[in-house]
Amino acid sequence: MKNYTIVTMPGDGIGKIVLKEAVRVLEKAGLKADFVYGDIGWEFWCKEGNPLPERTIKLIEKYKLGLFGAITSKPKKAAEEELDPQLKGKGYVYFSPIVSMRQMFELDLCVRPSRSFEGNPLNFVKRNPDGTVIEPSIDAVIFRQGTEGSYAGVEWTNPPDEVINVFKTHKKFKSFEKVKKEDIAISTRIVTREATRRVIKEAFEYAKKFGYKSVTVAEKPNVLRETSGMFEEEAKNISKDYREIALWSVNIDAIMMWLTKNPEDYGVFVCENLFGDILSDGFAGLVGGLGFACSGNIGKEYAVFEPTHGSAPKYEKLNPSIVNPIAMILSSAMLCDHIGEIEIANKIKNAIKEVVKEGKVRTYDMLRLPGGPNAIEQGAASTQEMTDAILEKL
Ligand code: NAI
Ligand code: MG
């Protein structure tokens, strides 16, 4: 009898490659789980006009726990062009299945840890005044609100009259009134108090549980007075219950600068959806890039874990595959933490730590090689070899 059932959604491109590797690691690490496969991604958009088919939604509803690889997304017009001819012109509109999944299953906490592994040649370094180089250890965890803000999807090009009329009630809209409607595109940034409170509270709880000294709100309340303003206000309120943790509020643009200077000073972050997306990529770049960037989308009832990278289609067909499976494997370790399998999660993280520290097996990205079929002969490990090295440590 298996303890868990995990819906595996490989998706497109390298999602298909790395998810397989993560399952190998979970099994070897001793997770007692069944894996059921779910369709998701571009293929199903083209064939069915729906990148997140109902049957996959049903699986997540049933099992509540998912591992997701990556999908290919294309802009509106390009998406329409690739639709099966029989479906064209029937009103199908492409949407990002992961963004939809977050909204549909209320996966409102998007948690993205960025931790440096000792020995990773891609780690951030800086130079002392005397020329010596230091490599600070980075341990930042970004709590990104996952369901609302700029990614809520409330947007229009050529907005309907009733929308324009509402905007006209705002005095700042005056300067846009002379622009033709078809030349206006509007994306909203909707932030609600309850969701804001929840993500901030979870960020503080996490900081408390794991001994972080600070929670930083990365917003822009001096300009985005309403939405960022609400974030800052609620953070101040909630921080009163966590006297031992410092609350810092630093503008998102300033943070993007500070993280290139002293990323080691920061601990937990909390911000809106789009800002969190940007901030987490920024931090990912300091600890190895997309090959190391893991994430969890966590709601009260459901959770889906995924690497933050995309489908990297140009590497999909390489045989052997060269992409780094660590981001996906770390994401599956996050899944283990989430379900309380802490020991298994630690085993996986320690195995990765050892492999990286040893430095004998490195994928092309870790060697700073151009990606492509020649990477292997230049000394890069294949995707499978990297996984094998991790399995060996387990
Ligand atoms: P990407 O993340 O797929 O790839 C960008 C580059 O990062 C790659 O060319 C490669 O050099 C590197 N990279 C990514 N994953 C890697 C790994 N595991 N190991 C080593 N190197 C890795 O982003 P890109 O090229 O902008 O988008 C490709 C497609 O993926 C697009 O259709 C995009 O919409 C989609 N996408 C999907 C995401 C998701 O499923 N959550 C997230 C980001 C992009
Ligand atoms: Mg991103």
Q: Ligand 2 centroid to 111 CA: how many Å? A: 12
Burial class (CB in 10 A: 0-12, 13-18, 19+), 36: middle
Same domain, yes or no, for 328 and 233?
no
Same domain, yes or no, for 263 and 280?
yes
Classify residue 119: in a domain, yes or no.
Answer: no
pLDDT of the residue at 350: 98
Count of domains forming the chain: 3
Question: What's the full length of the chain, in residues?
Answer: 394
Classify residue 177: in a domain, yes or no.
Answer: yes
Token pair listed for 299 = 């709601």
Ligand 1 atom nearest the C-alpha of 312 is 3
Mean pLDDT within 89-106: 91
Within its chain, how far is the Cα of 140 from the centroid? 14
Classify residue 204: in a domain, yes or no.
Answer: yes
Same domain, yes or no, for 208 and 63?
no
* CATH number for the domain that contains residue 272: 3.40.718.10
- Interval 111-159: pLDDT, tens: 999 999 999 999 999 999 999 999 999 999 999 999 999 999 999 999 9
Distance CA 388, CA 331 (A): 17
Task: State the chain's mean pLDDT as an integer.
Answer: 96
Classify residue 328: in a domain, yes or no.
Answer: yes
**Which mutation among 40, 280, 290, 365 tests ligand 1's pocket best, with the greatest number of atoms within 8 A of CB?**
290
- Interval 49-94: pLDDT, tens: 999 999 999 999 999 999 999 999 998 889 999 999 999 989 898 9
Ligand nearest to the CA of 311: 1
Classify residue 220: in a domain, yes or no.
Answer: yes
pLDDT of the residue at 192: 98
pLDDT over threshold 90, residue 301: yes
Residue 171's domain spans which residues? Answer: 154-187
DSSP string over 174-216: GGGTTS-GGG-EEE--B--HHHHHHHHHHHHHHHHHHT-SEEE
Q: Which residue's alpha carbon is nearest to atom 27 within ligand 1?
A: 310
Instruction: Tell me which residue of 246, 252, 323, 324 sits closest to 281, measured CA to CA.
Output: 252
- Where do we find the tokens 């009134």? 177
Ligand nearest to the CA of 102: 1
Residues having CB within 6 Å of any atom of ligand 1: 14, 18, 70-73, 98, 290-291, 306, 309-313, 323-324, 327, 365, 371
Classify residue 244: in a domain, yes or no.
Answer: yes
pLDDT of the residue at 125: 97
pLDDT of the residue at 75: 86
Q: Ligand 2 centroid to 279 CA: how many Å? A: 9
**Which mutation among 309, 361, 368, 382 tests ligand 1's pocket best, with the greatest number of atoms within 8 A of CB?**
309
Ligand nearest to the CA of 274: 2
> What pTM was computed for the model?
0.94
Q: Ligand 2 centroid to 276 CA: how many Å? A: 9
Q: Ligand 1 centroid to 280 CA: how many Å? A: 14
- CA angle in degrees (0–180, nearest 5) for 82-85-90: 95
Which residues are paired to 192 by β-bridges? none
Q: Ligand 1 centroid to 216 CA: how many Å? A: 28
Same domain, yes or no, for 148 and 297?
no
Distance CA 331, CA 345 (A): 10
* CA-based torsion, 163, 168, 171, 175: positive or negative: positive
Classify residue 118: in a domain, yes or no.
Answer: no
| % the chain with pLDDT above 70 | 99
Same domain, yes or no, for 137 and 264?
yes
pLDDT of the residue at 77: 85
pLDDT of the residue at 170: 96
Mean pLDDT within 167-171: 96
- Where do we find the tokens 């990912």? 284
Instruction: Tell me which residue of 135, 148, 137, 10 sits closest to 71, measured CA to CA.
Output: 10
Domain ends where: 142, 165, 187? 187
- Interval 331-380: pLDDT, tens: 999 999 999 999 999 999 999 999 999 999 999 999 999 999 899 999 99
Q: Ligand 1 centroid to 70 CA: how many Å? A: 8
For the beta sheet containing 109-115, the strands, ordered from the edge strand earlier in sequence to the opposite edge, are: 33-37, 4-11, 65-70, 303-307, 294-298, 109-115, 139-145, 268-271, 214-219, 246-251
Q: Which residue's alpha carbon is nearest to atom 12 within ligand 1?
A: 290
What type of residue sits at position 324?
Answer: N
Q: Ligand 2 centroid to 3 CA: how many Å? A: 32
Q: Which residue's alpha carbon is nearest to atom 13 within ligand 1?
A: 290
Classify residue 306: in a domain, yes or no.
Answer: yes
163 contacts: CB under 8 Å, gap ≥ 6: 156, 186
Ligand 1 atom nearest the C-alpha of 11 is 40
Same domain, yes or no, for 262 and 304?
no
pLDDT over threshold 90, residue 291: yes
Token pair listed for 371 = 């990606």
What type of residue sits at position 200?
Answer: I
Same domain, yes or no, for 198 and 94?
no
Distance CA 22, CA 28 (A): 10
Same domain, yes or no, for 299 and 276?
no
pLDDT over threshold 70, residue 2: no
Same domain, yes or no, for 33 and 158?
no
Q: Ligand 2 centroid to 368 CA: how many Å? A: 21
Please, which residues have CB less than 5 A from ligand 2, an ion? 277
> 103 versus 230: which is more confidently predicted?
230
| % the chain with pLDDT above 90 | 95
Ligand nearest to the CA of 45: 1
